[in-house]
Structure 1
């Protein structure tokens, strides 16, 4: 049986077309390095394209919301056409996911067009309040997508020594899971990043419920832009 040294010698001696042994090592590292660079470039391109797509969807969804606010303004002020803050509205960005924002906008506009009379009444408020609720239900996170948030949250709690990781996951997923899936599902990527960062900074030994609420509430309050 050939030893290791013999196998290496045989491999070096078997170059194509009688190529000298030293040529093989010079060629072999070059191609993997090029492939690695190309792979990183493709990944960067994919990430950038995805980010650009999300930004475009966010702008389009925000514009749909502004169209609703413009029609609401025209109805309330009996203006024939136009809303002075329309362009300002389209430049705003919120924490709502494009899907949630568009669904809320389209539902609210349809409700406004069905409603007769003054829209600034309790009757219209009740009609349109269902739009946001239905949109949040439609964008609820699957349980598997909640896992990264639970990992950060329970990793922090376990690191504090307040509760072991597995017990935390089971307890929170059964108790707060549905509420977190609904709330985080309504957020865009920026809002979700802020929630994860906040979960990783919870104070050790503190009351968990209020701290989780404190992470969620500022972002939930920023889902929809309204003129001041």
Structure 2
């Protein structure tokens, strides 16, 4: 017994329609203004944290020349920790500015131990920009005036760390594979259309994420359905960007 073919969803997935829907995406820039206004309680309820953290095994294996995958991973881990330290240093400076006479931010260790999806370059750029804003500002930083000064740092950092076009290839391929499950599309044309429409947003997002964040982004892209593709792609990107930086809450 024959069955009629399953109709494809009326998803309006022509590449021209897709370009229009992606062109409407609004990739939010990180805003640090809420932090500067003190809405995130920088240590008023400090969490107890231990200063004892597992030390990395620094013993080198001298029997095999050349770098090993483990040593490369350790280097990436150290780079991430160093960048997180820069970000936590800014948060501590912000806290100390508002609490004169206090020697240390009580949540500094908790901040160092936090695992986020921000790339080391994103952490460093945001920390350095925010630190410059704080250094040039006089008075209480928990004000609207300072919020206006520091609010530009999220957007500045996203622009500074934007990934290159070749870095987007696996993400565009993942999206085009999902589109081809809905409509017959030419992959080269799909890739070019996506790069024109989504490229600027995606370069900023990918550049801002570390490997953990990038893996989650591709996983989300691989699960999008055939309808409202633009909204779904935006829904993959923005929550990850919103959770890039650790903030005390």
Q: What is the distance in 1 between the residues matched to 2:172 and 2:221?
A: 9
Q: What is the distance in 1 between the residues matched to 2:89 and 2:173?
A: 39
Q: How does 1:4-19 map to 2 (within 5 A)?
A: none
Residues 157 and 165, structure 1, Cα contact 8 Å, conserved in 2 = no
Give the aligned CA root-mean-square deviation in angstroms: 1.9
Deviates most, 122-131 or 177-186: 122-131
Compare the two structures and name the one with the higher helix fraction: 1
Q: What is the distance in 1 between the residues matched to 2:233 and 2:184?
A: 15
Match 2:243 to one of 193, 198, 222: 222
Q: What is the distance in 1 between the residues matched to 2:117 and 2:233?
A: 17
Q: What is the distance in 2 between the residues matched to 1:94 and 1:194?
A: 12
Residue 198 of structure 1 deviates from its aligned partner by: 1.0
Residue 167 of structure 1 deviates from its aligned partner by: 2.8
Q: TM-score, normalised by structure 2?
A: 0.70
Q: What is the distance in 2 between the residues matched to 1:42 and 1:160?
A: 50
Larger Rg: 1
Residue 95 of structure 1 aligns to a residue in which SS? Answer: coil
Gap runs ≥5 in structure 1 = 1-40
Residue 165 of structure 1 deviates from its aligned partner by: 2.2
Q: How does 1:37-52 map to 2 (within 5 A)?
A: 46-52=68-74
Match 2:157 to one of 135, 138, 143: 135
Match 2:172 to one of 150, 154, 174: 150
Q: What is the distance in 2 between the residues matched to 1:213 and 1:42?
A: 45
User: What's the CA shift string for 1:160-215, capped at 9, x where partnerless?
Assistant: 32644233212111111111111111111110111111111111x21011110111
Match 1:74 to one of 78, 96, 99: 96
Q: What is the distance in 2 between the residues matched to 1:153 and 1:208?
A: 9
Q: TM-score, normalised by structure 1?
A: 0.76
Q: How does 1:26-175 map to 2 (within 5 A)?
A: 46-161=68-183, 163-175=185-197
Gap runs ≥5 in structure 2 = 1-63
User: What's the CA shift string for 1:87-136, capped at 9, x where partnerless?
Assistant: 11110011110011011112211211110011122221221122222221
The answer to which structure, 1 or 2, has the higher relative contact order (CA under 8 A, 6+ apart) is 2
Match 1:186 to one of 205, 208, 212: 208
Deviates most, 181-190 or 126-135: 126-135
Residue 227 of structure 1 deviates from its aligned partner by: 0.5
Does the C-alpha gap of structure 1 residues 157 and 79 become closer, same or farther in structure 2, counting only changes over 3 Å? farther
Q: What is the distance in 2 between the residues matched to 1:69 and 1:149?
A: 33
Q: What is the distance in 1 between the residues matched to 2:111 and 2:213?
A: 19
Residues 95 and 191, structure 1, Cα contact 8 Å, conserved in 2 = yes
